[in-house]
Structure formats: C-alpha cells, structure tokens
Amino acid sequence: MTPLAELHLHLDGSLRMNTVRELAERMGKQVPPELLFRPGMGLAEALSKFAFTLSLLQQPAEVKRVAAEICEDALKSGVSVLEVRFAPQLHAGANVAEIVDAALEGIAGRAGLILCGLYGEDPKVLQGHVELARTRKGVVAIDLAGGPSASQPFRLDDYAAPFLKAKELGMGRTVHASEGRSPEEIRVAVEQLHAQRIGHGTTLLEDRSVLDLVLERGVTIEACPTSNVHTGVFKEVNDHPLPRWLSLGVRATICADNTLLSNVSTAEEHLRASQIPGMTPALMARAIANGHAGSYLSLRERGEVDA
C-alpha cells in the first residue's frame, strides 16, 4: 500500500481509548459516557469534548506518552509522513516550553509538531509560540485552531502579526478556516496570514475567486471528512467535495483530525474518502501525493516555506 501522509491530527483528540481509561483511573476521574463526537453535533459541542481529554494531559509526562503513542499508531495506520498539532497553553501542569519539549520528546523525530493558537485568544499567545519555535527544530509550523464566534474580541486578521513573523522565520503556517463558514476566511488566511495550508476549507467552492486564489498559490487543503460530518458541515462523508476539489487541481489531502474523538484512523479515513462518489484511484493517489508534498518538512526541503 502507498504510504500515507497525515498532516492534520490533534494530540488532545487522538489518544488511545485504553490510555484514556488508564489515565482517568489513575487520576480518579470518571470517563464521560459520551466522550466521542457524534454526527451533526456542531463545532461548539465538538470543541467542548476536548475538556476531558485535556484534563488528563495537563502534565508533561502524559503529553510525552500520548505524543509517542500517536506516532506508533500512525505508523500502524500506514502513515510515513506525520504532523501532530496541539495548543500547549491548554496544558497547565508546566510552562509552555516544558509542555512543547515533552511533546517533542514523545515524538522523537517521528513527526513534525505544529503549535496552535486558538480563535478568540490574544494573538500574543501565538506570538509566544513563534518565539519558542525558533529554538526548537521539531516545531514545523503554527496553526490557528478552534473556531470564531461573534463574542470573541479578536478577528482572524488580528492574528496576522504572529503569522507574518512565522513566515519571516521560515516556519510553516496553517489555519483552521471555512469549516462550514464563509470561504472569505480562506482568503484572509492566505492573503493576510500567509497560510500555505488550510484546515477544512469546506466552503471553498462557494467563491470562485477564493478557489482561484487557492489554485494560484498552490494552497494545500487538509480535508477532514469524518470530522466535518461530526461538526454538522456535511450530512455524510459522501457529501464531501473532495473529488471535485481534486479534479479542479486543488491540492487537497485526507486527514483524520481526531482519531479518538472521531473514532477513525488515518487509514480508515482514506478508505472512506475513496468511497465518495466521484473518487477514482487516480484522484486518491493525487490526494496522497498532495499530503506528502504539502508536509512542512518537504516544503522546507523545497525552500517553499517562505512562499
């Protein structure tokens, strides 16, 4: 089988169920009966599901363990190029640098690490991640994760400064954008945040000029079909526009997002994607190749991180 690339995987949503049970027991916590995502639950409720897994991962030791297990599991899922992401500021058991170092130790060179800022959070947090990443080669990129809401004090373009700094330093940039929301977010992410990759981007085809921008800049779209069904963007995986994207020349790749919470492995996500009406073996091969080409390590090798 062709080795897969997995570019969009959240550490705090991709624990092994056995590890969740073990850590919960050790910490005297009850595993919630409805721990996992379910179809159509919406983004806000999906995001709330991270509270429990995060509560198990406050200390560096658990971060390190889970990072290592994710690398092992990805390998078993046929993944040869892996990037893992998380928001270290949500792990309060040590300072951000210690939490990041714990993740890097667990990864042990088997994956690139992406540091996430969060929608609504002061952009200074992300600025801090960029500064930290300068001295840690294993950190390949920054991301903006979560989702926007009207009550938040910051808008997407308020995060331009840390993203610009990341660009100047040759660091990768990806943004969770247009996850069932306006395609305009993709434009802001690409034009103002200099994102080379977009997480989700489900509404891409709603605006021809945004599609043209993505094609022109060669932006990679990290498609997460099962996750999109859980957040209610699509009714079923088969509704995902992935085959149309690929046919139009969009550099889309297939990602699991959260292997635990969505109860899906990278291999399983590829199988589901291959069954979307309109998908062909050639388009699948292209999606996999897009993943390899869009990884930050390969962008770095090709000198395209600054693009």
User: Hunting for tokens 């306006």 — which residue is that?
Assistant: 182
> What is each CA distance from 22 to 25, 59, 259, in whole angstroms?
5, 15, 18
Asked whether 4 and 78 are in contact (CB, 8 A), the reply is yes
CB of 8 to Zn ion, least distance (A): 6
Of the pair 2, 48, the CB lying nearest Zn ion is at: 48
Alpha-carbon distance 201 to 224, whole Å? Answer: 9
Listed residue (300, 294, 266, 259) closest to 66, CA to CA:
259
Residue 179 among the catalytic residues = yes
CB of 280 to Zn ion, least distance (A): 27
Of the pair 83, 257, the CB lying nearest Zn ion is at: 257
Of the pair 59, 231, the CB lying nearest Zn ion is at: 231
Task: Choose, from 6, 121, 179, 222, the residue flagged as catalytic.
Answer: 179
Of the pair 50, 245, the CB lying nearest Zn ion is at: 50
Asked whether 154 and 186 are in contact (CB, 8 A), the reply is no
Binding mask 183-202 for Zn ion (x = CB under 5 A): --------------------
Residue 172: what residue type? G
Of the pair 185, 257, the CB lying nearest Zn ion is at: 257
Residues contacting residue 301 through CB under 8 Å, at least 6 positions apart:
none
CB of 87 to Zn ion, least distance (A): 11
Query: Which of positions 237-266 make contact with Zn ion (CB under 5 A)?
Result: 257
Closest residue to Zn ion, based on beta-carbon distance: 257
Asked whether 36 and 260 are in contact (CB, 8 A), the reply is yes
Alpha-carbon distance 247 to 173, whole Å? Answer: 25
Of the pair 121, 257, the CB lying nearest Zn ion is at: 257
Other beta carbons less than 10 A from residue 124's beta carbon: 11
Count of residues in contact with Zn ion, rule CB under 5 A: 1
36 DSSP assignment = S
CB of 224 to Zn ion, least distance (A): 6
Per-residue tokens: 63: 């971060």
CB of 85 to Zn ion, least distance (A): 7
Asked whether 132 and 87 are in contact (CB, 8 A), the reply is no
CB of 259 to Zn ion, least distance (A): 12
Alpha-carbon distance 219 to 187, whole Å? Answer: 11
Residues recognised as catalytic: 179
Which residues contribute to the site for Zn ion (CB under 5 A)? 257
